[in-house]
Amino acid sequence: MNVHDSDRIRRMIQDAGYAEVQRYEDADLVILNTCYVRENAVDRVKGHLGELNRLRREGRVKRVALTGCIGAAEESAALRQTYDIDLVLGTHNTYELAEFVGLPTMRETYTPDLPGTEGGHNAFVTIMTGCNYQCSYCIVPTVRGRMICRPMESVIGEVERLVAGGTGYVTLLGQTVDAWRHEGKRFCDLLEAVSESAPRVWFTTSHPSNMEDRTLRAIGERETIVKRLHLPVQSGSDRILKVMHRGYKAERYRRKIEVFREAAPEGTLSTDIIVGHPGETEEDHEQTLRLVEDCAFDSAYIFKFSPRRGTEAAGLPGTVPDAVVQRRFLEVLRQVEQNAFTRNQRKVGGMEEIYIRHGSTEDGKAIGETWSGHAVHVNTDAEPGDYVKARIESAGPHVLYAGEPDTSL
Ligand code: 5AD
Ligand code: SF4
């Protein structure tokens, strides 16, 4: 979501006549588009702001704007006192940046439901913003607001324009995309329609309570949908899931995964897991390990609980000591990596059609993606957006390695 927002911001300031540079010291204007989901994101922004203060004193950088989720949070006021910031914007008024960079008011042009860069081989399409859940630990509903779903015609219109302009891969975006609904239509209807208009489709991120079996089956059945599901579980313990207000039990999550595995046996499954939520006991942690084992995730983003001011969990008793959090983190990580490694090994020897996401670097390796959603390193000078066919020669826990592409196929 932030990459997509940054993309729109980039387009806006380029329209105002700015050129993009790679180093702060070469910039007149710096826009920090920020994340607030965990404290380490804030720490990083503070580091950047400190450096920008120094460059301003030296006259190298003239103006600094702070946008995104920190901008929408109360904490931005404190940052403004400590650092030199000319403009702070939240998540709903990015268009004000237009005026800041000398463009006419763009209230209509740069609202969140409008497209990012067009014509790229790979494009994000926002289908909903905000979130109607209230997970105990999460700041997103506070900084992004309640769910707003974009009308189906508007989404399809954008997808068709993108595809006509050369986009070969469309990713539908939102905090809980599977909660999308509009005028009687549900997410699966939208996904099916998009899968008919675009040659390659993926979506992120989903909520288990909204994920319908119909959608899971569509992933398996529809040729244009990448067989990769990201379904954040957060914990394997029913007790913690309840404290988190996730709205499902571990068993229901397991059943969803069974449907997915049956629908797309070759597909990949990833998740988000939080370790060390207040009150998490050893037994809760064991249940998370068990769930990880049962679901055999192909990858997982594991997070140490980070208290966010204003969320329910920040005020809950039962803080888990850092050393315990660290151990649990490593235990979950090890479990995920073992499973992922074993599953990836099964891909070795197979021929794959690989979509090139990033062209080759100096070492000649491009990064691509199979239809099953596996990341692959492949030796090719094919351009982003091209497809190549190659045999998988080896595999690690995170990525597959392909041999020379077969050009005769
Ligand atoms: N602490 C740790 N992880 C968090 N996430 C969201 N809020 C927090 C928090 N306070 C994680 C969740 C979510 C992902 C995007 O970030 O796992 O799915
Ligand atoms: Fe945050 Fe996701 Fe829960 Fe919404 S569903 S509150 S975005 S973790």
95 has a pLDDT exceeding 80: no
Residue 113 has pLDDT above 90, yes or no: no
Residue 149: is its pLDDT beyond 60? yes
Q: What is the tens place of the pLDDT at every residue in 285-327?
A: 999 999 999 999 999 999 999 999 999 999 999 999 999 999 9
Summarised one tens digit per residue, pLDDT across range 251-272 is 999 999 999 999 999 999 999 9
CA-272 nearest atom, ligand 1: 17
Mean pLDDT over 124-132 rounds to: 93
Which runs of E-coded beta strand occur in 132-196?
148-149, 169-173, 181-182, 185-186
Q: At residue 250, does pLDDT exceed 50?
A: yes
For 183-235, write each residue's pLDDT tens digit. 999 999 999 999 999 999 999 999 999 999 999 999 999 999 999 999 999 99
Q: Of the candidates 103, 248, 194, which has an alpha carbon nearest to the alpha carbon of residue 203?
A: 194
Q: Averaged over 96-122, what is the pLDDT? A: 64
Q: How many whole angstroms from its chain centre is CA 305?
A: 18
Least distant ligand from the CA of 133: 2
pLDDT tier at 344, thresholds 50, 70, 90 = very high
226 Cα to the center of ligand 1, angstroms = 25
1 or 246, greater pLDDT? 246
CA of 38 to the centre of ligand 1 (A): 7
pLDDT at residue 37, as a whole number: 94
pLDDT higher than threshold 50 for residue 108: no
- Under the banding of pLDDT at 50, 70 and 90, the label for residue 5 is confident
Provide residues with CB under 6 Å of ligand 1. Answer: 37-38, 137-138, 232, 234, 272, 274, 303, 305-306, 308
> Which ligand is nearest to the Cα of residue 274, counting in written order?
1
CA 139 to ligand 1: nearest atom: 7
DSSP notation for 46-68: HHHHHHHHHHHHTTS--EEEEEE
Give the ligand at the shortest distance from the Cα of 38.
1
How far, CA to CA in Å, does 168 sit from each of 14, 47, 159, 162?
A: 24, 37, 10, 8
**Residue 120 or 160, more confident:** 160
pLDDT band at 111 (very low <50, low <70, confident <90, very high): very low
Nearest ligand 2 atom to the CA of 141 is 6
Tell which one of 136, 177, 233, 303 to mutate to probe ligand 1, the residue whose CB is within 8 A of the most ligand atoms.
303
Report residue 132 as tokens. 């109607």
* Residues framing ligand 2 (Cβ under 6 A): 131, 133, 135, 138, 140-141, 175-176, 207
Contact criterion met (CB below 8 Å) for 298 and 270? yes
Band of pLDDT at residue 110, cut at 50, 70 and 90: very low
Question: Smallest Cα–Cα separation from 277: which of 135, 140, 142, 175?
Answer: 135
Residue 109 has pLDDT above 50, yes or no: no
Query: Whole-number mean pLDDT of the chain?
Result: 93
Residue 67 has pLDDT above 80, yes or no: yes
* Residue of the CA atom closest to atom 3 of ligand 2: 135
Residue 107: which pLDDT band, with cuts at 50, 70 and 90? low
Number of DSSP helices (H) and strands (E) in the chain, helices first? 13, 18
pLDDT at 409: 57
Residue 313 has which token pair?
Answer: 């969990």
Task: Identify the DSSP state of 321.
Answer: P
Report the C-alpha gap between 169 and 275 in whole angstroms.
33
22-57 tens-digit pLDDT: 999 999 999 999 999 999 999 999 999 999 999 999
Ligand 1 atom nearest 308 alpha carbon: 10
